[in-house]
Amino acid sequence: MILAIGVASIVLIAANAAFFTALHLRDATADAVDAASPIDQSLTLLRRDLQCAVTPKASGVLSGDFKIGNVTSTGISEPVAAEIYTATGALSENAPWGDIQRVTYELKNSTSGVNGRDMYRSVTRNLLTETTPDVEDQLMIRGVDSVRFSAYDGSQWNDSWDTTDATSANTNLPVAVRVDIQLTSSGKNSSPIEILVPIDSQSRTNSTSTVGAGS
C-alpha cells in the first residue's frame, strides 16, 4: 500500500506539472493573440483604405486627393502622415453620406501611459459641409514609435506625394504604397511592420485622340 501510494504521488506530481505547463502555455498564447489582433485589424483596414483610394480629379470637393508626408488636413490641428480619399465608407440610414470618405493616419501622444505614441485613423464622412467637418478619431495601435508612408511612381519611391500640388509631376495616384510602422516595444534596431499595397485605380479622361485619314 505504501508503495502504491508513492507511485500514485509521483504520477500526480508529473500530471500536475504538465497541467500547469499547459495552462501557462495557453495564457501566453492568448496574450500573444490579444496583442496581435489590434495590429492585424489595423493593417487590414489600412490596406483596404489604400486599395479603394479614389482617383484625383481636376476640381471638386470629392476630388479624391492623395497626400503622404508631413501634410495638413482640414479639421485636424497637427500634421498627418497620410490623407486619402477612399471609397470605404459604410452606407447606412443613420449616416446620410456617400461611400467616399476622407481618411487620415497620424500619431498622437498617448494618454494611457504606454511608451511611444498612438496611431489614429481619423475619418471625415460629411465632405459637403460648408463648416468645419466633424472628424471621428479611431484608435488603431498603441505604442508606436513612427509611421512612414512611401509612394512608388513606377521608377522610384517617394517619401512625399501630393496630387493637389500643381507644380508636382505626381498628380495621379501612385503605382504602389508602402507603409512602415515601428513599434516602441520592438526596439530601435528591430525591423518595422511593413505592408506593400499595389494601387490598381487609374484616372480616366474625356479626351479623344485624332486618327489620320490614312490610318
In a domain, 20, yes or no: no
In a domain, 207, yes or no: no
In a domain, 182, yes or no: yes
Compute the distance between CA of residue 191 and CA of residue 181 in angstroms, rounded to an integer.
9
In a domain, 18, yes or no: no
Compute the distance between CA of residue 120 and CA of residue 127 in angstroms, rounded to an integer.
20
Q: How many residues does the chain have?
A: 215
In a domain, 135, yes or no: yes
pTM, to two decimals: 0.72
| Average pLDDT estimate for 103-127 | 88
Residue 214 has pLDDT above 60, yes or no: no
Q: What's the mean pLDDT when you consider all of the chain?
A: 81
Number of domains the chain is built from: 1
Residue 148 has pLDDT above 90, yes or no: yes
Helix/strand/coil for 25: helix
CA 131 to chain centre: 27
Q: Contact, 169 vs 154, CB < 8 A?
A: no
Of all residues in the chain, the percent with pLDDT exceeding 70 is 81
Q: Contact, 58 vs 50, CB < 8 A?
A: no
Helix/strand/coil for 132: coil
In a domain, 209, yes or no: no
Residue 120 has pLDDT above 60, yes or no: yes
- Residue 17: CB partners within 8 Å, gap ≥ 6? none
In a domain, 26, yes or no: no
Q: Which amino acid is at 189?
A: N
Of all residues in the chain, the percent with pLDDT exceeding 90 is 33
Which residue range forms the structural domain that includes residue 133? 36-198
Burial 45-61 (b: 16+ CB within 10 A, else e): bbeebbbbbbbbeeeee
In a domain, 28, yes or no: no
Which pLDDT does position 3 carry in this prediction? 84
